[in-house]
Amino acid sequence: MTTLLEAHDVSRSFGGLQALAGCSLLVERGSITGLIGPNGSGKTTLFNVITGYIKADTGRVSFEGKDITNARPNAVFALGIGRTFQMTRIFARISVVENMLVATQREESWLRGLTRSKSSKSELDNAMEWLDFVGLARLAHLPAGALSYGQRKLLELAYVLVADPDVILLDEPAGGVNLTLINEIGEKIRSLNAAGKTFLIVEHNMEFVMNLCDTVTVMHQGCNLVTGRPDEVRSNPLVLDAYLGGGDDEDVAEEMSNG
Ligand SMILES: Nc1ncnc2c1ncn2[C@@H]1O[C@H](COP(=O)(O)OP(=O)(O)O)[C@@H](O)[C@H]1O
Ligand SMILES: [Mg+2]
């Protein structure tokens, strides 16, 4: 295995609040890596630093061995790092397929298309193909606002896939999604991973993380606390302590300890 994406000793504070305090993370090429931790432990902030939405105060981010620390979001995206957001960012009033065409036309997608010298398939065909992949093709002409929350998450996934990223960062893909769609999202991730895509996934649903990921890093108070296989992480007392000490994550701690 080789390292595809690395955050090394990253710190970032907001005013007096230290959101990241020397956090390090390795993502191996071809892996499905999980990133978990109590609410407020810095997971989304780390995603934001990696993808250029927030600058690190100190520390380094590298991708394929190249330093990309504090690169702009469109530059990071053009290099092959795609992401979804904890709160979906789709346009509710235009149709599902129009949302996909917006994705295709984003400047950074276009740039990325150039570097990848994509086939001459029309943008519409390409958009429809990815909608079909996530099971939304039959809803292509509905306003995106008519989709359920889970379906919006699938649309976001399709939206990111248009640009053919090497690594995909998902922020809570299963959050607020019904069980059938959670399983569907899990299957899509597996099949994309089998086709060579690397994933870094933040998710509170422990069953989802433990079934899907080959490596899990647990964050606590802005630092990486433990990294290991799901079963190692699940039985690590430090991890249970982190969740129990976290205040509002007792359900998760209970779920983890019950295994
Ligand atoms: N843009 C911001 N401005 C101020 N504080 C922030 C900002 N983003 C995150 N934080 C704070 O940083 C901490 C870590 O947040 P976050 O990375 O969202 O945690 P997680 O995703 O693990 O729940 C929290 O205390 C949060 O309130
Ligand atoms: Mg978050």
Q: pLDDT value at position 22?
A: 98
Same domain, 97 and 128: yes
Atom of ligand 1 nearest to the CA of 15: 4
Q: Is residue 232 part of a domain?
A: yes
173 shares a domain with 72: yes
**Is 76 in the same domain as 94?**
no
Q: Is residue 183 domain-shared with residue 244, that is, in the same domain?
A: yes
Average pLDDT over residues 46-63: 97
Above pLDDT 70, what percent of the chain? 87
- Residue-level pLDDT at 205: 92
* Whether residue 12 has its Cβ less than 6 Å from ligand 1: no
pLDDT of residue 101: 86
Q: Are residues 144 and 33 both part of a single domain?
A: no
Cβ(163)–Cβ(109) below 8 Å: yes
Model confidence pLDDT, tens digit, residues 118-133: 555 678 888 899 999 9
In a shared domain, residues 108 and 233: no
Q: Supply the mean pLDDT for the chain.
A: 89
Q: Distance from the CA of 129 to the center of ligand 2, in angstroms? A: 30
- Identify the nearest ligand to the CA of 11 by its number: 1
**Whether residue 38 sits in one domain with residue 26:** yes
Split into its structural domains, the chain has a count of: 2
Residue 190 pLDDT more than 80? yes
Query: Are 137 and 31 members of one domain?
Result: no
Q: With 80 as the cut, is the pLDDT of residue 164 above it?
A: yes
- Which of 136, 163, 190 delimits the end of a domain? 163
The verdict on residue 215 lying in a domain is: yes
Same-domain pairing of 134 and 211: no
Q: Is residue 117 one of the residues assigned to a domain?
A: yes
Query: Which amino acid residue places its CA nearest to atom 3 of ligand 1?
Result: 14
Q: How far is the CA of 87 from the centre of ligand 2 (A)?
A: 9
Range of the domain at 104: 90-163
pLDDT score for 128:
93
Mean pLDDT of 43-70: 97
Query: Is 85 a member of any domain?
Result: no
198-209 pLDDT per residue, tens: 999 999 999 999
Residue 115 has pLDDT above 80, yes or no: no
For residues 178 and 149, state if they share a domain: no
Name the residue of 36, 44, 201, 219 whose CB sits within 8 Å of the most ligand 1 atoms, as the mutation to test its pocket.
Answer: 44
Given a contact cutoff of 8 angstroms between Cβ atoms, the answer to whether 182 and 16 are in contact is: no
Asked if the structure places residue 205 within a domain, the reply is: yes
Measured from the Cα of 42, ligand 1's closest atom is 17
Model pLDDT, residue 163: 81
**CB-CB contact of 165 with 81 (8 Å):** yes
Q: What is the mean pLDDT of residues 186-210?
A: 95
Under a CB-based contact definition with an 8 Å cutoff, are residues 128 and 178 in contact?
no
Domain assignment of residue 136, yes or no: yes
The answer, yes or no, to whether residue 68 has pLDDT greater than 90, is: yes
Last residue of a domain, one of 163, 180, 202: 163
- Residue 29 alpha carbon to ligand 2 centre in Å: 23
Contact between 47 and 83 under an 8 Å Cβ cutoff? The reply is yes
Q: Domain boundary at 115, 141, 163, which?
A: 163
- Model confidence pLDDT, tens digit, residues 72-111: 998 998 899 999 877 667 899 999 999 998 877 666 666 6
Of the candidates 248, 230, 199, 194, the residue with the CA atom closest to the CA atom of residue 41: 248
pLDDT higher than threshold 80 for residue 24: yes
Tell me the CATH number at 42. 3.40.50.300
Q: Quick one: pLDDT band at residue 112, thresholds 50, 70, 90? A: low
Ligand 2 ion local residues (Cβ < 5 A): 43-44
Q: What is the pLDDT of residue 251?
A: 59
| Pair 21, 72 in one domain | yes
Establish if 48 belongs to a structural domain. Answer: yes
- Neighbour-count burial of 38, counting CB atoms closer than 10 A to its CB (0-12 exposed, 13-18 middle, 19+ buried): buried
- Is pLDDT above 50 for 259? no
Residues 35 and 132 in one domain: no
